[in-house]
């Protein structure tokens, strides 16, 4: 609960930051409790959709979609942004043989180099509203590092 309140306070405090320009698409890998193939697609000047497909260490094959509001931090250094947004997660748990459906949120920072490489560090808590019977996973959170090719 403290993490959620801290995330909301951070969002409220930084909401006045300038919007970043979301330039192009990106594809790569997201590393954390598992590995995901990550794709980012622009949805306007300062918004995008991130879709991740992966297999987690908790035996879940899943897909997560998160809508990002991207904010500019170029006053610190060119190429630096932060982002926040809501999403959904859908997966299959092979241990408990059942479907997982969750509500997710994501907050992170990214740096895009002068060549087509983007690195990001983010936090994505997920609360599962549907889970297999007997599964202890009612929630998940973790910090992930991503490396993506920008095009």
pLDDT at 11 over 60: no
pLDDT at residue 20 greater than cutoff 90: no
Closest among 68, 69, 73 to 52, alpha carbons compared: 68
Please tell me the total number of residues recorded for the chain in this structure. Answer: 151
How many domains would you assign to the chain? 1
pLDDT digit string (tens) for 111-151?
Answer: 999 999 999 999 999 999 999 888 887 888 889 999 999 99
Looking at residue 15, what is its pLDDT? 47
- What does the pLDDT look like over 67-110, one tens digit per residue? 999 999 999 999 999 999 999 999 998 888 899 999 999 999 99
CB 95, CB 120: distance < 8 Å: no
The residue range of the domain holding 85 is: 2-150
**Whole-structure pTM value:** 0.84
Q: Supply the CATH number for residue 68's domain.
A: 2.40.160.20
């Amino acid at each position: 609960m403290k993490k959620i309140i801290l995330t909301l306070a951070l969002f409220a405090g930084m909401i006045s930051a300038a919007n970043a320009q979301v330039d192009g698409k990106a594809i790569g890998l997201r590393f954390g409790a598992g590995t995901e193939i990550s794709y980012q697609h622009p949805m306007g000047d300062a918004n995008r959709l991130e879709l991740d497909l992966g297999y987690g260490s908790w035996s879940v094959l899943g897909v997560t979609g998160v809508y990002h509001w991207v904010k500019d931090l170029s006053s610190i250094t060119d190429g630096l942004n932060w982002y926040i947004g809501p999403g959904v997660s859908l997966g299959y748990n092979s241990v408990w043989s059942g479907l997982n459906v969750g509500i997710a949120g994501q907050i992170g920072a990214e740096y895009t180099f002068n060549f087509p490489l983007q690195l990001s560090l983010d936090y994505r808590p997920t609360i599962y509203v549907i889970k297999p019977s007997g599964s202890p996973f009612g929630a998940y959170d973790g910090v992930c590092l991503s490396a993506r090719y920008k095009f």
